[in-house]
């Protein structure tokens, strides 16, 4: 399984980059006490913490603890085990990314197919114009505009997964995820929608579609049952290629909407030099992208079983 060596390589590179970075882990560990600690005490503490070991031995010890004991280390910025941070926050990030992807797929199929059915129509001009506009706008800018219009203007719930001081419930999560998931979905729409439009336009000129029309089938049936299935193959490929940016966009959107996912924890870890948490987030993000790509490939095989014979 290719995910294992790739994830291993990414985690090793993460530890290697940390070893050559100018960041001093003792500063984060001691905080304000660092300046008051003598050089001899610093050396003793570094030896006890294993900071003088080579990066490969530190990585090997970390990997062994993760695989055998699911021990990702201790988060200094949150004062919690990293495994607990991942357990609490990763489901929120996956929920946001999955909901955003679902919104992007539905919008892209609905608008893209209709734009291909009626080239040059108002729907076609609106869809392509929306795509070109969104391509040049960063997701966090779209998020700020959405907050100004829908949260401040219309009073939609925003900020976190529940109201201030209340525990998250299914209802509160469902209402608070609408804006961030919509913004995340819109950030992926340009590439998906334009792909659907061009693929359906090409499929409409194929022989089997022409034959379906010659049998007198309704235009809607011809498009959705004969042209669209063939157009879905490149669409699924594009979805798989966009997964890394979907994860990155989810972290940006989380930061703007204060969504309780991994984004805020990642920012705190980066600012405070919380390397155990950074290493865990990097590894889990890589693994999530690979799993998503595997799912996209599986869907590709389902849409066109002939790929197995190639």
pLDDT in tens, 148-203: 998 888 888 887 788 776 778 888 888 889 999 999 999 889 989 999 999 888 88
What's the burial of 165, exposed, middle or buried (CB within 10 Å: 0-12/13-18/19+)? exposed
Asked if 193 and 98 sit in the same domain, the reply is yes
pLDDT at 300 over 70: no
Strands (E), the chain: 74-75, 80-81
Q: Is residue 284 part of a domain?
A: yes
Q: Is residue 16 part of a domain?
A: yes
The last residue of one of the domains, among 43, 71, 99, is: 71
Asked if 277 and 142 sit in the same domain, the reply is yes
Asked if 63 and 141 sit in the same domain, the reply is no
Domain at 217, CATH number: 1.10.3720.10
Asked if 31 and 147 sit in the same domain, the reply is no
CA 254 – CA 263 distance, rounded (Å): 6
* Residue-number span of the structural domain to which 41 is assigned: 3-71
Q: Is residue 77 part of a domain?
A: no
pLDDT at 87 over 70: yes
pLDDT of residue 310: 46
Asked if 271 and 295 sit in the same domain, the reply is yes
The last residue of one of the domains, among 71, 90, 114, is: 71
Asked if 184 and 230 sit in the same domain, the reply is yes
Asked if 36 and 126 sit in the same domain, the reply is no
Asked if 269 and 204 sit in the same domain, the reply is yes
pLDDT of residue 161: 80
Q: What torsion, rounded to 10 degrees, do the Cα atoms 138, 139, 142, 144 define?
A: -100
Q: Is residue 66 part of a domain?
A: yes
DSSP summary character for residue 143: H
Asked if 210 and 93 sit in the same domain, the reply is yes
Q: Are 42 and 26 in contact (CB under 8 A)?
A: yes
Nearest alpha-carbon partner for 286 in 276, 294, 297:
294
pLDDT tens digits, residue range 46-84?
676 666 678 888 888 888 988 888 888 888 777 788 888
| pLDDT averaged over every residue in the chain | 82
Asked if 138 and 209 sit in the same domain, the reply is yes
- As a whole number, mean pLDDT of residues 77-102 equals 87
Q: Is residue 9 part of a domain?
A: yes
Q: Is residue 305 part of a domain?
A: yes
The last residue of one of the domains, among 44, 71, 98, is: 71
Asked if 159 and 25 sit in the same domain, the reply is no
Asked if 60 and 141 sit in the same domain, the reply is no
Looking at the structure of the chain, the number of domains it has is 2
């Amino acid at each position: 399984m290719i995910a294992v060596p790739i994830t291993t390589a990414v985690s090793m590179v993460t530890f290697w980059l940390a070893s050559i970075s100018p960041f001093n882990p003792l500063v984060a560990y001691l905080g304000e006490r660092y300046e008051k600690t003598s050089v001899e005490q610093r050396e003793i503490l570094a030896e006890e913490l294993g900071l003088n070991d080579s990066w490969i031995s530190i990585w090997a010890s970390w990997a062994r603890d993760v695989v055998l004991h699911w021990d990702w280390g201790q988060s200094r910025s949150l004062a919690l085990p990293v495994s607990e941070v991942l357990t609490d926050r990763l489901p929120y990030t996956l929920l946001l990314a999955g909901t955003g992807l679902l919104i992007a797929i539905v919008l892209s199929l609905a608008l893209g197919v209709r734009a291909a059915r009626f080239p040059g129509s108002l729907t076609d001009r609106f869809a392509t114009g929306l795509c070109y506009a969104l391509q040049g706008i960063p997701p966090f800018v779209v998020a700020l505009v959405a907050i100004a219009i829908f949260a401040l203007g219309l009073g939609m719930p925003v900020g976190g997964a529940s109201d201030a001081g209340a525990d998250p419930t299914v209802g509160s999560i469902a209402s608070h995820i609408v804006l961030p998931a919509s913004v995340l979905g819109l950030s992926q729409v340009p590439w998906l929608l334009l792909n659907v439009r061009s693929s359906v336009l090409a499929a409409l000129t194929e022989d089997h579609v022409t034959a379906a029309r010659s049998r007198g089938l309704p235009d809607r049936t011809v498009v959705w049952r004969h042209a669209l299935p063939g157009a879905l193959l490149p669409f699924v490929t594009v979805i798989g290629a966009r997964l890394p940016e979907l994860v990155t966009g989810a972290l940006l959107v989380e930061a703007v909407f204060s969504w309780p996912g991994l984004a805020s924890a990642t920012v705190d870890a980066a600012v405070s030099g919380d390397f155990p948490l950074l290493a865990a987030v990097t590894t889990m993000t890589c693994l999530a992208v690979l799993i998503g790509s595997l799912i996209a490939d599986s869907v590709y095989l389902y849409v066109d079983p002939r790929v197995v014979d190639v």
